[in-house]
Homo-oligomer: A and B are copies of this chain.
Amino acid sequence: MTRSEENYLKTIFHLGGGDSKSISTNAIAEQMETKPSSVTDMAKKLSDKGLVDYVRYQGVSLTDVGVKTALSIIRKHRLWEVFLVKKLDFTWDEVHEVAEQLEHIKSEKLIDKIDELLDFPKYDPHGDPIPTKDGKFQERDEKLLSEMPINSQGVCVGVKDSSVPFLKFLDKNNIALGNTIKILDKEDFDNSLRIQMNGKEMRISHQIATNLYVKKNP
């Protein structure tokens, strides 16, 4: 497996190609910042290797082997991110770029030992679940902050947008995973929210609220 092949599989998975849904050439090209013709070439190669099902003009979806491979790369990516934060004091906005490189290191023992060193974490620094060694995914019962009803309460468990600017914005406003959030009020005009977080009251724009995952308290 080349690095490029691995990156294609990962992208196809993230676009939903793991559920035997067909992903278009254009969608992959856009996500990977490459050209559709390059995607076509790679689709053929991955198809020859039995990693994707590819029908000309119809897009690609991952085979079982393709899904398994994609998950193993995603597992490595997220474990490395946890390592960087927990063991090397990286901030959550610094880890993705480095993990993009580390995810391609080929050593099963290495990633198993990292997993062990970290005490088998279930989520990465952005709240994304870490697949198990045998490719199981532990989805969490979570919803977007923007979808929570007034007076409900929950814990912030993840970010949908994990871009550097958004993560830095959250840091600046002391919004962190683990914080307890209560919805006090919604403003009809701009869909902004008034919330209570860790005791303090604050206002949050709709854009922010649609990019924060919350686990609702029972």
Measured CB to CB, the residues of A under 8 A from B are: 84, 87-90, 94, 97-98, 101-102, 105-107, 109-110, 113-114, 117
Contacts and interface: CB of A to CB of B under 8 A. Distances in A.
Contacts of A87: 117
| A contacts with B: majority SS | helix
8 contacts: A84-B110, A88-B113, A90-B109, A94-B109, A97-B107, A98-B110, A102-B105, A105-B105
A106 B110 contact: no
B98 A113 contact: no
Nearest to A101: B105
Nearest to A116: B88
B105 A90 contact: no
Contacts of A107: 97-98, 101
Contact of A101 (B84, B88, B106): B106
A81 to B, nearest CB: 12
A71 to B, nearest CB: 21
Contacts of A97: 107
Contacts of A117: 87-88
Contacts of A90: 109, 113
Contacts of A105: 98, 101-102, 105
A12 to B, nearest CB: 24
Contacts of A110: 84, 88, 98
Nearest to A112: B88
A117 B89 CA distance: 10
A76 B194 CA distance: 49
Given A94-B109, A101-B105, A102-B105, 12 more contacts: A87-B117, A88-B110, A88-B113, A88-B114, A89-B113, A90-B109, A97-B107, A98-B105, A98-B110, A101-B106, A101-B107, A105-B105
